[in-house]
Amino acid sequence: MNIQDLIIKDKDQVLLQDVFLSDENREQIDQLIKEHKYLEDLKSYGLPVSNKVLLYGHSGCGKTTTAKAIANSLGKPLIILNLSNVINSRIGETSQNVKQVFDRAARDKGVLFLDEFDQLGKARGDDDNDVGEMRRLVNSIIQQIDYLPEDVLLICATNHIDIIDSALIRRFQFRIQYEMPSNEALNQYYDSLLARFPEELHPKSRRYGISYAEAKDSLFAVVKSNLIKKLDMKGRFL
């Protein structure tokens, strides 16, 4: 399969400062970025550079935006795996597709982002019907990860870390958990989103117990509805 069919082009420029993270997660990500900024200095001291990161936890809590922000902070190209095209009914082709994407990341010295990583790294032995094929795929991914150059950063994301093969999980130097935001964190997020809208468009109430992605969609739906009502009223009096 052509390499262009295996990756997703994404030109979003996300700033790390705009990603809502817990203090602990931000500290780990800052450490990761600094390791890559000072890669040659660390290597001169014989120190290994962490280049394999697993982001796991609730959907819609910032894993994808974090990957984009890290790539932007480092000035590296972001290569996103097109999972739907990579997974093929013939396991040999799937492994070859994955290898092509890893090779592309190595040539570009980029950030390789594998979302829904559990679809590729499912624990060997969980399914009696395809245990042999799954074992070969996981073994192939382990090999690609083990030989990943230090100047390439691999970021994998999953909502289901419990089904990923333990041998794969051990390869990641950073394992960062994303939890549902607290009410306080959501209020800060709502405030940041609403800052560019006049107060008359703001919602009268806020939703809690939801992810950042759900909060954003819910908020914008109300803002759009309020704006449309305002425009309708204005049109009636023209």
pLDDT digits (tens, 9 = 90+) for 142-194: 999 999 999 999 999 999 999 999 999 999 999 999 999 999 999 999 999 99
Q: What are phi and psi of 116, to 5 degrees?
A: 50, 50
Instruction: Return the pLDDT at 4.
Output: 80
Instruction: Work out the angle at residue 211's Cα, subtended by the Cα atoms of residues 209 and 216, and round it to the nearest 5 degrees.
Output: 110
Q: Is the pLDDT of residue 210 over 80?
A: yes
Task: Give the closest residue to 42 by CA, choosing from 52, 31, 53.
Answer: 31
**From CA 213, how far away is CA 206, in angstroms rounded?**
14
Is 148 within 8 Å of 51 (Cβ atoms)? yes
**From CA 28, how far away is CA 6, in angstroms rounded?**
30
CB proximity list for 174: less than 8 A, separation 6 or greater: 28, 32, 50, 52, 53, 54
How many Cα atoms within 13 Å fall on the side-chain side of residue 208?
A: 8
Is 206 within 8 Å of 186 (Cβ atoms)? yes
**From CA 52, how far away is CA 29, in angstroms rounded?**
12
Tell me the CA distances in angstroms from 98 to 24, 95, 140, 160, 168, one per residue in order.
32, 5, 9, 20, 15
Instruction: Return the pLDDT at 91.
Output: 61
Q: What is the DSSP letter of 112?
A: E
Confidence of residue 42 (pLDDT cuts 50, 70, 90): very high
Tokens at residue 100, please? Answer: 């092509």
How many residues does the structure list for the chain? 238
Instruction: Return the pLDDT at 125.
Output: 56
**From CA 71, how far away is CA 111, in angstroms rounded?**
6
- Look up the pTM and report it: 0.89
Q: Is the pLDDT of residue 89 over 90?
A: no
Confidence of residue 88 (pLDDT cuts 50, 70, 90): low
**From CA 180, how far away is CA 211, in angstroms rounded?**
6
